[in-house]
Amino acid sequence: MAERGGLAARGDLAASRGQLGADAPVTTSADLPAQSEMDGTFKVIEDHCDRIYTWDYERSRPQLVTLYNKAAQSQWASVTDLDWSTDVDPESLVDKDAPNLQLMREVTQMPGSPIASWGERELTKLGLEMFTAMLSQFMHGEQGAMMTAAKIVETVPWIDAKYYAATQTMDEARHTEVFARYIDEKVGTAYPMNPNLEAQITGLLEDSRWDIAYLGMQIVIESLALAAFGDMLRRTTEPLLKKLLRYIMADEARHVAFGILSLGEYYQHLSAADLKERQDFLLEHTINARARSTTPEVWQRMGVRAADVVPFIMEAAGKMKKTPFMQFQNGFFAKLVPNVRKLGLLDANNGYLRERWGEAGLLEFEFADADTSEDYARYDAVAADRAAAATTG
């Protein structure tokens, strides 16, 4: 399959190019990159879902119609709506009081630590690498979201959901584009995709159940994205990044609403056994995935082996009695848990998920956030900026 997705697919492209005319450039095997280079650039994913045409074009789901119309009205363009001439000092992007750098500052004070000789200059450089690594995961995740939204277009049986998922596919393409451009032009060299994130999105794309793409992307990953983007937005003062994040969050809030509206209807008709599978999916992507891995590439760029520094980080976190990701995790669960309750998955099967999330201490977030299925308007920075421009104009 990998060969078909690589050399064979590119050979088909070259052959089709020949149909364009005698003057079209001809690609030969000598022009193709080596297989190793292609393996580092492309990934082939087996998708086992059926593709669904529907001949029912009746607009029978008014909430999705409203959401679709809102999405169409709120499209924005990266070239015209963002000022890419903004001068960005990469070091100014580092929040020196952020919990992760406070933790690393503690590690520099520990005897035997591999970073005991570091001062503020090295910590600032580490902070920039961590920032770049985070933006890189945003970029990779948005491409995964684009592919997942495209899968939803093809597999969901309702026309209103197909229409909306098509707008989301465009949203995610734009998000991928702007993060890639921001990293390239303003920050530095991107990091590869985190293996845990890659496995999570690959699982959604490969799953034969169309609603799992919804549940994993619209409910879990989009809630994660809103929490991560919101945390970064609160910490940054860089104007281009702030506007970029505000606009992306406006889109992401609609995406979560889309998942709640569609899955809420679908899950009313599933059997207890099918609902149990969805509950186990949520357990796998929350309780079993709560530990965040230290990005070894960051330490590699800093000239330190991750295996050497991680024990000191864990010891320092124990002394400080906090994790640098606590605020972010709380923001994630504050969005996820209420939305799962709205889907009926918290109490299905005699409260199976409620009991296990309760044991993990997650039920404190059950009523933490507003109704994300309707409150996306409060995130709509695009509409707010356009209204302000019209007033001043």
Query: pLDDT at position 8, please?
Result: 44
Residues of the chain predicted below pLDDT 50? 1-20, 22, 291-292
Considering the domain architecture, whether residues 246 and 105 belong to the same structural domain is answered as yes
pLDDT at residue 367, rounded to an integer:
87
- Statement to judge: residues 217 and 163 lie in one domain: yes
- In single-letter form, the type of residue at position 341 comes to R
Looking at the fold, whether 341 and 375 belong to one and the same domain comes out as yes
pLDDT of res. 46? 79
Residue 227 maps to which CATH number? Answer: 1.10.620.20
Q: What is the pLDDT of residue 20?
A: 47
C-alpha to C-alpha distance for 108 and 118, rounded to whole angstroms: 6
Instruction: Report the domain count for the chain.
Output: 2
On whether both 40 and 54 belong to a single domain, the answer is no
Write the pLDDT tens digit of every residue in 288-303: 555 445 578 899 999 9
Length of the chain: 393
Same domain, 263 and 316: yes
pTM of the model: 0.85
Q: What is the per-residue pLDDT for 287? A: 72
Predicted pLDDT of residue 300: 92
In this structure, the answer to whether residues 14 and 84 fall within a common structural domain is: no
Q: Are residues 8 and 131 in the same domain?
A: no
Do 33 and 60 have their domain in common?
no
Backbone Cα Rg of the chain: 23
